[in-house]
Amino acid sequence: MMQPLLHFPWYRCAAAQSTGVSLGLVSLGGLARNPRCVTSSDGLHIVAFEGELHNAQELRQQLNLAAGGNDAASHAALVLHALRRWGVAAFERCNGLFQIAWWNEAEQALVVACDPGGLRPIYYCQAAEQFAFATEVKALLALPWVKRNLDYDGLLSFLRHGLPLGGRTFFANVRVLPPGSYARFCGGRLEIQRYWRMRFTEQAELSERESNEQFLQTWVEVMRDQAAGNFRLGLPLSGGVDSRVILAALMAEKKEVFTFTMGEPGCCDATLAHELAEKASCSNLFSPVVAQEVAHGLERAVYLTDGLFNCVHTNVRRLLPSLVESASLVFDGINAMDGLYDPEDLWWHARLHRTEATQWLRKEVGAQPVDRFALGTGATLNLLHPEALPRFTPALQHDFVQEFVLRNRPLVGSETAVVDLFWLEEFQHRFYAHGPQILRSAVEVRCPFFDKRMLAFIGRLSPRQRSTDKPLQRHAVQQLSPALAAVPWERNGLPLTAGPWQMQSRRAARMLQRKVGTLAGKYWRRPGRGCRRGHMIDYDEMIRTSPLLQEQIHSTLVGSAAQASGLFDPRALADLLQAHLQRQGDYAEIIGRLLTVEHWYQLFVRRAAPVREKRELPMYARPALALAA
3-state secondary structure 574-620: HHHHHHHHCCCCCCHHHHHHHHHHHHHHHHHHHCCCCCCCCCCCCCC
Residues 271, 138 share a domain: no
Residues 165, 25 share a domain: yes
Confidence of residue 530 (pLDDT cuts 50, 70, 90): very low
Residues 190, 245 share a domain: no
* pLDDT of res. 505: 78
The domain that contains 228 carries what CATH number? 3.40.50.620
From 488, 516, 551, give the residue that closes a domain. 488
Residues 177, 295 share a domain: no
- In this structure, the strands spanning 380-381 and 373-374 are antiparallel
- Asked if residue 528 has pLDDT above 50, the reply is no
Residues 171, 47 share a domain: yes
- Asked if residue 622 has pLDDT above 60, the reply is no
* pLDDT of res. 24: 83
Confidence of residue 443 (pLDDT cuts 50, 70, 90): confident
Share of the chain above pLDDT 70, in %: 85
- d(C-alpha 294, C-alpha 313), whole Å: 9
The domain that contains 162 carries what CATH number? 3.60.20.10
Report the pLDDT averaged over residues 361-389.
86
Report the pLDDT averaged over residues 245-272.
93
Instruction: Tell whether 361 is covered by a domain.
Output: no
Lowest mean pLDDT among 68-72, 112-116, 215-219, 397-401: 68-72
- In this structure, the strands spanning 373-374 and 257-263 are unpaired
- d(C-alpha 451, C-alpha 445), whole Å: 13
Domain count, the chain: 2
* pLDDT of res. 297: 87
Helix, coil or strand: residue 257: strand
Q: What is the pTM of this model?
A: 0.90
Report the pLDDT averaged over residues 527-554.
76
| Average pLDDT along the chain | 84
Instruction: Tell whether 324 is covered by a domain.
Output: yes
* pLDDT of res. 586: 93
* pLDDT of res. 562: 63
Report the pLDDT averaged over residues 568-582.
94
* pLDDT of res. 168: 94
Instruction: Tell whether 86 is covered by a domain.
Output: yes
Residues 229, 146 share a domain: no
- d(C-alpha 232, C-alpha 327), whole Å: 5
Please state, in angstroms and as integers, the Cα–Cα distance from residue 428 to each residue in 157, 460, 590, following that order: 16, 19, 20
Which backbone phi and psi does 192 adopt, to 5 degrees?
-110, 125
Residue 53: count other Cβ atoms within 10 Å of its Cβ.
24
Reported as a single tens digit per residue, the pLDDT across 300-351 is 889 888 999 999 888 777 777 778 889 999 999 988 876 666 665 665 555 5
- In this structure, the strands spanning 45-53 and 38-39 are antiparallel
From 454, 488, 522, give the residue that closes a domain. 488
Residues 446, 299 share a domain: yes
Residues 217, 164 share a domain: no
| Half-sphere exposure at residue 25, Cβ-oriented, CA atoms within 13 angstroms | 29
From 455, 488, 521, give the residue that closes a domain. 488
Greater confidence, 583 or 11?
Answer: 583
Report the pLDDT averaged over residues 589-617.
74
* pLDDT of res. 520: 47
Confidence of residue 60 (pLDDT cuts 50, 70, 90): very high
Confidence of residue 615 (pLDDT cuts 50, 70, 90): very low
Range of 478's domain? Answer: 208-337+434-488
Confidence of residue 220 (pLDDT cuts 50, 70, 90): very high
* pLDDT of res. 519: 44
* pLDDT of res. 529: 33
Residues 191, 143 share a domain: yes
Report the pLDDT averaged over residues 466-493.
92
Instruction: Tell whether 599 is covered by a domain.
Output: no
Reported as a single tens digit per residue, the pLDDT across 160-179 is 988 898 899 999 999 999 99
Residues 410, 193: contact at Cβ < 8 Å? Answer: no
Lowest mean pLDDT among 130-139, 275-284, 384-393, 437-446: 437-446
Confidence of residue 608 (pLDDT cuts 50, 70, 90): low
Lowest mean pLDDT among 1-5, 74-78, 80-84, 530-534: 530-534
- d(C-alpha 591, C-alpha 544), whole Å: 12
Instruction: Tell whether 295 is covered by a domain.
Output: yes
Instruction: Tell whether 348 is covered by a domain.
Output: no
* pLDDT of res. 455: 93
- Within 8 A by CB and 6+ apart from 315, the residues are 262, 289, 294, 537
Helix, coil or strand: residue 258: strand
Residues 133, 28 share a domain: yes
Residues 215, 472: contact at Cβ < 8 Å? Answer: yes
Confidence of residue 29 (pLDDT cuts 50, 70, 90): low
Instruction: Tell whether 450 is covered by a domain.
Output: yes
Greater confidence, 506 or 237?
Answer: 237
Residues 179, 110 share a domain: yes
Greater confidence, 604 or 36?
Answer: 604
Instruction: Tell whether 498 is covered by a domain.
Output: no
Across the beta sheet with 329-331, the strand order is 284-288, 257-263, 233-236, 329-331, 444-446
Residues 169, 306: contact at Cβ < 8 Å? Answer: yes
CB-neighbour burial class of residue 256 (10 A; exposed 0-12, middle 13-18, buried 19+): exposed
Confidence of residue 599 (pLDDT cuts 50, 70, 90): very high
Residue in 208, 206, 204 with CA at minimum distance from that of residue 462:
204
Residues 219, 317 share a domain: yes
